Amino acid sequence: MALSSTHNKAGNTQEGVPAALFRRVCGAFATGVGVATVIGRDGKPHGLTVNSFTSVSLHPPLILICIGHRAATHGPFSTAASFAVNFLDETQQPLSERFASSHPARFEGLRWSCGATGAPVLEDALAVLECETWRRMDAGDHTVFFGLVKEARVRDGRPLLYFGGSYRRLAQD
Ligand SMILES: Cc1cc2nc3c(=O)[nH]c(=O)nc-3n(C[C@H](O)[C@H](O)[C@H](O)COP(=O)(O)O)c2cc1C
């Protein structure tokens, strides 16, 4: 069922559009899927699945991710001087699910190492951006983490996609 702008206007709350409509509209924006990773003060790797990645600036090379205040990984990201965003390929949906769930040991069995910035890099990722934490900005119930890109790598492959609340893949061409 299409949600029209009439519904939108009629359903407005004081805060803006109804949450369900807002979620549904945002879900209409197809994205890739990444695992954002960081070393915590405990010296251990932490990570979560993200699709809030955006490239921001070329000069200097800046990106951002948004992490919810209630995420357990929010703490480690808030104190770390560097982090990485590891883009997943179409075979890596299980990795996305692992890093979005209550899996007790998200890095267990994975090939990962600390990159040049010290942030954890997933060896089998489709692409990786390693960043120095450039700015942090609270925005509603999330914090926006801006990263200054220090290292980048990419291999051939097809990305894992997310659209309408479901994982998707590119059609074969
Ligand atoms: C495809 C996908 C994209 C997601 N993107 C984000 C995101 O950008 N920011 C965020 O805070 N949570 C995002 N999540 C939710 C987190 O991955 C999930 O809540 C995770 O369990 C948080 O782990 P933590 O509580 O250990 O930090 C996403 C989940 C999925 C499945």
Whether 15 maps to a domain, the answer reads: no
Q: What is the value of pTM for the model shown?
A: 0.93
Give tens-digit pLDDT for 13-33.
557 899 999 999 999 999 999
Whether 71 maps to a domain, the answer reads: yes
Whether 27 maps to a domain, the answer reads: no
**The pLDDT of residue 12:** 52
**The pLDDT of residue 53:** 98
If one counts every other C-beta atom within 10 angstroms of the C-beta of residue 108, the result is: 8
Based on the structure, what is the number of domains in the chain? 1
Question: Which of the four pLDDT bands, split at 50, 70 and 90, describes residue 10?
Answer: very low
Residue with the two structure tokens 């200097």: 60
In whole angstroms, give the CA distance from residue 60 to residue 51.
22
Q: Is 145 exposed, middle or buried (0-12, 13-18, 19+ CB in 10 A)?
A: buried
- For ligand 1, atom 6, name the residue with the nearest CA: 50
Whether 18 maps to a domain, the answer reads: no
% of the chain with per-residue pLDDT over 70: 92
Whether 171 maps to a domain, the answer reads: no
**The pLDDT of residue 1:** 41
CATH of the domain at 142: 2.30.110.10
Q: For residue 126, give its domain range.
A: 33-160
**The pLDDT of residue 172:** 86
Lining residues, ligand 1, CB within 6 Å: 33, 48-52, 66-68, 71-73, 96, 100-101, 162
Whether 109 maps to a domain, the answer reads: yes
